[in-house]
Amino acid sequence: MPTTALPNTAATGAQARLDTPTGMLDVVIDGGTLVLLRFVDDPDSVAGLPSELSRDDDPAGILSRLRAYFAGDVHALDDVRVRFDRGTPFQREVWAALRTIPVGETISYAELARRVGRPSAFRAVGSANGQNPAAIVVPCHRVIASDGTLGGYGGGLDRKRWLLEHEGVLTSLGFG
């Protein structure tokens, strides 16, 4: 999978762009911690990326872990450190709860709402899920609708379907 170092200037962290089976990903690392992992639908765009970060071919080894994940080691991202630099306290709580969903499993938005102590807030949980700054590593793709359908996904349902199939989930849900 080709990697492109993104244009930038000097020094508090690193960023890169990785070509994956699900499309391009922007990766931003600060102090060895992932702060942004997002799908890129316009490969010429660098909008929204911090300009103070240096270019790096593999910041903190995250790209190697992403390559391993896409090559079949679905546990390669389990212990990647993530820092949430933005978001409300509620969103951060939801994002932290997402990290507890094991590879190969899914939960409903309603279950995620229960896990964060707000059982009636499944719509707010869905909204927080959609604002996740670290796609794949913070596995918002593992949250599905209560009726067993895929629900939504900020990266698009084709990507969500691919990720769940890659992790062996879709067959058990009857989608594969």
Any idea which residues carry the catalytic annotation? 140
- The CA distance from 21 to 71, in Å, is 10
Rg (the chain; Cα; Å): 16
Q: Residue 38, Cα to own-chain centre: how many angstroms?
A: 7
Residues in Cβ contact with 127 at an 8 Å cutoff, skipping those fewer than 6 apart: none
Q: What is the dihedral of CA 100, 81, 78, 147, to 10 degrees?
A: 40
Q: In this structure, what are the phi and psi dihedrals at residue 41, rounded to the nearest 5 degrees?
A: -90, -20
CB 98 within 8 A of CB 92: no
Which residue type does 72 have? G
